[in-house]
């Protein structure tokens, strides 16, 4: 049995913290971080303000991301092994997902802005935090 969970939300909103806790809790759990799919800086458009536009879907290689998700869908056991994810003993005995439950968490700030990805989720979560808390976290990250 396979489940795909989407965890979206604002930058610095707690998505990665929640994802890391779920990885420790759920058996046979893999993760795809949207942040791993940013294009190279020279491929990112520069806005009118003179800054690269990192917070738009065009800054991400979404095709590569969906291909990664498809790889997990095709064989979550092989995917987990190739990404160094520990599997439950029952899942280790098999090269398919027939034994045990397998989870994929897709985590990112624009994971609900790409139609092919929307169609894969079994459960979606969106994390929001108050504006002042978000601002405080972003300031402390850049220092």
- Domain of 10, CATH number, reads 3.40.50.300
* Domains of the chain: total: 1
According to DSSP, the residues that pair with 103 across neighbouring strands are 3, 29
Question: Percentage of the chain with pLDDT > 70?
Answer: 94
Task: Report the candidate in 46, 24, 38 with the shortest Cα–Cα distance to residue 105.
Answer: 24
87/109 Cα distance (integer angstroms): 28
* Percent of residues in the chain assigned helix, strand, coil, to nearest 5: 45, 20, 35
93-101: average pLDDT: 67
Lowest mean pLDDT among 49-58, 59-68, 90-99, 106-115: 90-99
- Give the model's confidence band at 143: pLDDT under 50 very low, under 70 low, under 90 confident, else very high: very low
- Average per-residue pLDDT for the chain: 90
> Domain limits at 48?
2-141
- Give the model's confidence band at 84: pLDDT under 50 very low, under 70 low, under 90 confident, else very high: confident
Lowest mean pLDDT among 4-13, 36-45, 83-92: 83-92
Angle at 25 between CA 85 and CA 86, to 5 degrees: 15
Greater confidence, 96 or 4?
Answer: 4
Written as one string, the DSSP assignment of 54-123 is: TTSGGGB-HHHHHHHHHHHHH-HHHHHHHTT----HHHHT-SSTTSS-EEEEEEESSTTS-HHHHTT-SE
**What does the pLDDT read at residue 98?**
63
User: Which entry of 35, 55, 95, 122 is annotated as an active-site residue?
Assistant: 35
4-8: average pLDDT: 97
Is 35 catalytic? The answer is yes
Q: What's the distance, CA 110 to chain centroid?
A: 10
- Give the model's confidence band at 142: pLDDT under 50 very low, under 70 low, under 90 confident, else very high: low
- Give the model's confidence band at 97: pLDDT under 50 very low, under 70 low, under 90 confident, else very high: low
């Amino acid at each position: 049995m396979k489940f795909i969970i989407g965890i979206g939300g604002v930058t610095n909103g707690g998505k990665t913290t929640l994802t890391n806790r779920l990885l420790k809790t759920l058996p046979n759990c893999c993760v795809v971080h949207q942040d791993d799919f940013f294009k190279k800086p020279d491929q990112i458009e520069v806005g009118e303000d003179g800054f690269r536009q990192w917070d738009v879907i065009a800054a991400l290689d979404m095709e590569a991301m969906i291909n990664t998700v498809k790889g997990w869908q095709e064989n979550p056991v092989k995917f987990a092994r190739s990404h160094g994810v520990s599997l439950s003993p029952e899942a280790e005995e098999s090269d398919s997902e027939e034994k045990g439950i397998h989870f994929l968490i897709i985590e990112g700030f624009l994971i609900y802005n790409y139609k092919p990805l929307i169609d894969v989720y079994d459960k979606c979560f969106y994390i929001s935090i108050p504006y002042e808390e978000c601002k405080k976290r972003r300031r402390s990250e850049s220092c």
